[in-house]
Amino acid sequence: MLRPKKEKTKKVKLTKESIQKAKGLLAYLKPYRGAYFIGWLFLVLSTSAGLIFPFLMGQLLGGGSTENPVSMSDSVQLINLKNINNVAVILFILFGVQSVFSYFRVVIFTNVTENALRDIRKAAFDRLIFMPMDFFNKSKVGELTSRLSSDIAQVQETMRTTIAEFFRQIVIVIGGIAFLVFLSWKLALIMLATVPVMAIIAVVFGRFIRKLSKKAQDQAAASNSIIEESLMGISNVKSFTNEYFILGKYSKAIEEIRSLNIKSGVWRGLFVSFIIFCLFGAIVFIVWQGLLMTQGPNPTLSSQEFFSFIMYTVMMGASIGSLPDLYASIQKTIGATENLMDIINTPGEKQLLTGRLKPEIHGNIAFENVRFTYPQREDISVLNGISFAAKSNETIALVGASGSGKSTITSLLLNYYTVKSGRVLFDGVDVKDIEIDYLRSNMAMVPQEVILFAGTIRENISFGKTTASEQEIIEAAEKANAWEFISSFPEGLATQVGDRGIQLSGGQKQRIAIARAIIKNPSILILDEATSALDSESERLVQDALNKLMLGRTSFVIAHRLSTIKNADKILVIQHGTIIETGTHDELIQKSGVYSNLVELQGIELN
């Protein structure tokens, strides 16, 4: 089975336009803005509390010695920081406060995110399920769903943690700088000129190396596919005596891998020595400069301050280093949001189909010179002026080769698509003026391939009428010749088709679909090759059920067996989107045209 390729969410440049689009998603946070605001408050509080930590740790590590005459701000002196015990107690209180704040921050952010995501998921599926049919032709459903779930996961991660983390790190960087300047502006200047620069170089450097090894990996995959292809097609290789040719190709590919990896090895070596020499060198340089300031007859820095300074520096370095990845993740999220908003902003059938009439529909249907092309293939004309009329309770058989346009006609009945020209009339009212849900509530379709939904047989039958009573369901199942096999299951109607679905035969599924149609009690029925995939025994049962179903309704039957078509009130013989013959079976046989030919040829196997 072909699995849909999982489309990765792309990073996007943060432009005004992309941010504008992503802003649409903020609307989903709006109902929870109160809680969200409190979450942010806790974030600010816990981050601020965290910023005091290096300062106090400096006091602790600096020994709280009494010798140091260097000035401290008054407020700091107030709490008698010289006492180690006091500092330790304050640190514990600080951590206690911070852990409470952080707890509420995480819980609140998760709450807001999950609430908003539920709304976003619902909105996205709401849009999807109401999309016009044309949308599903254009988009591959598998790709669409995997894309949707990965986009939502990306948004979830960002709303829950990334944004908060990004903000937290920025606060740490800014707050850290403020503390550093406060401790010693001179040393702060020296530090800022070195550590952040080194941290950023290290990150960029690291990325460059990652890119190089990614290249080597891709190349390795390419070389593996040479092996795979040639071994799978070994007979091609041998019969053309191309072994040496393939070997040459492979040698070239692996040579490429070798040189790429060696190149990246050189860079990795440089990276390691860079880290050792420059980054640690920078730190040593600052420590050295700082120590100088604490020495001498006129020290400008106390040892507590010096320790605090080092701790702020380390904290800031880590924060700066984490920013690029966080930023990249936010960029990705903007991309994901754009995709989501594209779906949410696409107009659905509700917006596109503006008919509001609800006329009585008795099943009198007319096509008037209908021309149609599929929206994504405007150049290919599928229906070229189809005209016919079906009276209430008639059975209309559509006959024609595969691809002649039979299913398309039934799609137009359901108003899946809009005609290019001409009209489709239901009891004299143009389909485009009829309210779409109302129109479809008057129709039922039994397709060739029945899809049962995970759930019980009962649920699958009442899919046709969600309010149906047990009695109605059983009656429908009986009329559909389905009751016999349903009641033979130990759990009867409560049998899960999810795990039994595989055990249900095509004919049984078909009869459940018929029961579904019976319970809907529509005035118009569409049977699209409903019996074509069945063996003759189940076909008899299904056909018998269909005959009962068709009683008292206007039925459109696409079938390939003569027995089904023979009894139709009207047969439309369709060729290349045109009706070339029309009449009853007897009339058409008399005519000895295309239809009689078909019947003569194979007792009709038109598809």
Ligand X SMILES: Nc1ncnc2c1ncn2[C@@H]1O[C@H](COP(=O)(O)OP(=O)(O)O)[C@@H](O)[C@H]1O
Min separation Cβ 406 and Mg ion, Å: 5
Amino acid at 303: S
Residue 273 or 421: the one with the smaller Cβ distance to ligand X is 421
Residue 5 or 377: the one with the smaller Cβ distance to ligand X is 377
Number of residues engaging ligand X in binding (CB under 6 A): 12
Subset of residues 41 to 100 that bind ligand X, contact rule: CB under 6 A: none
403's tokens: 């691809």
Q: Is the dihedral of CA 373, 374, 375, 376 positive or negative?
A: negative
Nearest to 334 by CA among 571, 542, 23: 23
Question: Which residue is nearest to Mg ion, using beta carbons?
Answer: 407
Residue 436 or 558: the one with the smaller Cβ distance to Mg ion is 558
Subset of residues 358 to 377 that bind ligand X, contact rule: CB under 6 A: 374, 377
Min separation Cβ 588 and ligand X, Å: 18
Amino acid at 179: F
Min separation Cβ 508 and ligand X, Å: 25
* C-alpha count within 13 angstroms, C-beta hemisphere, residue 120: 31
Number of residues engaging Mg ion in binding (CB under 5 A): 1
Q: What is the distance between the alpha carbons of residues 53 and 308, in angstroms, rounded to a whole number?
A: 9
159's tokens: 């709303």
Residue 223 or 407: the one with the smaller Cβ distance to ligand X is 407
Binder of residue 582, out of ligand X, Mg ion, none (CB less than 5 to 8 A by kind): none
Binder of residue 521, out of ligand X, Mg ion, none (CB less than 5 to 8 A by kind): none
Binder of residue 382, out of Mg ion, ligand X, none (CB less than 5 to 8 A by kind): ligand X
Asked if 460 is part of the footprint of Mg ion (rule: CB under 5 A), the reply reads no
Residue 150 or 607: the one with the smaller Cβ distance to ligand X is 607
Residue 195 or 370: the one with the smaller Cβ distance to ligand X is 370
598's tokens: 């078909």
Binder of residue 317, out of ligand X, Mg ion, none (CB less than 5 to 8 A by kind): none
Burial label for 500, CB within 10 Å (0-12, 13-18, 19+), is: middle
Three-class SS string for 103-157? Answer: HHHHHHHHHHHHHHHHHHHHHHHHHHHCCCHHHHHHCCHHHHHHHHHHHHHHHHH
Q: What is the distance between the alpha carbons of residues 582 and 602, in angstroms, rounded to a whole number?
A: 20
Q: What is the DSSP-derived secondary structure letter of residue 533?
A: T
Max Cα-Cα span within the chain: 124
Subset of residues 526 to 555 that bind ligand X, contact rule: CB under 6 A: none
Residue 402 or 467: the one with the smaller Cβ distance to Mg ion is 402
Min separation Cβ 412 and Mg ion, Å: 13
Q: What is the distance between the alpha carbons of residues 393 and 555, in angstroms, rounded to a whole number?
A: 7
Q: Is the dihedral of CA 460, 464, 468, 469 positive or negative?
A: negative
Site string for Mg ion, 386-425 (x = CB under 5 A): ---------------------x------------------
Min separation Cβ 374 and ligand X, Å: 3
Min separation Cβ 407 and Mg ion, Å: 3
Site string for ligand X, 388-417 (x = CB under 6 A): ------------x-xxxxxxx---------
* C-alpha count within 13 angstroms, C-beta hemisphere, residue 529: 15
Min separation Cβ 317 and ligand X, Å: 58
Residue 219 or 404: the one with the smaller Cβ distance to ligand X is 404
Residue 447 or 492: the one with the smaller Cβ distance to ligand X is 447
Subset of residues 137 to 196 that bind ligand X, contact rule: CB under 6 A: 137
Q: In what order do the strands lie in the sheet with 395-400?
A: 443-446, 524-528, 554-558, 395-400, 570-575, 578-583
Task: List, as one string, the DSSP characters of 438-471.
Answer: HHHHTEEEE-SS--PPSSBHHHHHHTT-TT--HH
Min separation Cβ 408 and ligand X, Å: 3
Binder of residue 374, out of ligand X, Mg ion, none (CB less than 5 to 8 A by kind): ligand X
**Helix/strand/coil for 342:** helix
Binder of residue 40, out of ligand X, Mg ion, none (CB less than 5 to 8 A by kind): none
**Helix/strand/coil for 571:** strand
Asked if 339 is part of the footprint of Mg ion (rule: CB under 5 A), the reply reads no
Q: What is the distance between the alpha carbons of residues 254 and 248, in angstroms, rounded to a whole number?
A: 10
Min separation Cβ 167 and ligand X, Å: 48
Q: What is the distance between the alpha carbons of residues 105 and 101, in angstroms, rounded to a whole number?
A: 6
Min separation Cβ 351 and Mg ion, Å: 29
Min separation Cβ 251 and ligand X, Å: 47
Asked if 382 is part of the footprint of ligand X (rule: CB under 6 A), the reply reads yes
φ, ψ for residue 132 (rounded to 5)? -65, 155
Q: What is the distance between the alpha carbons of residues 122 and 135, in angstroms, rounded to a whole number?
A: 19
Residue 327 or 374: the one with the smaller Cβ distance to ligand X is 374
Question: What residue ranges bind Mg ion (CB under 5 A)?
Answer: 407
Q: Where along the sequence are the contacts to ligand X (CB under 6 A)?
A: 137, 374, 377, 382, 400, 402-408
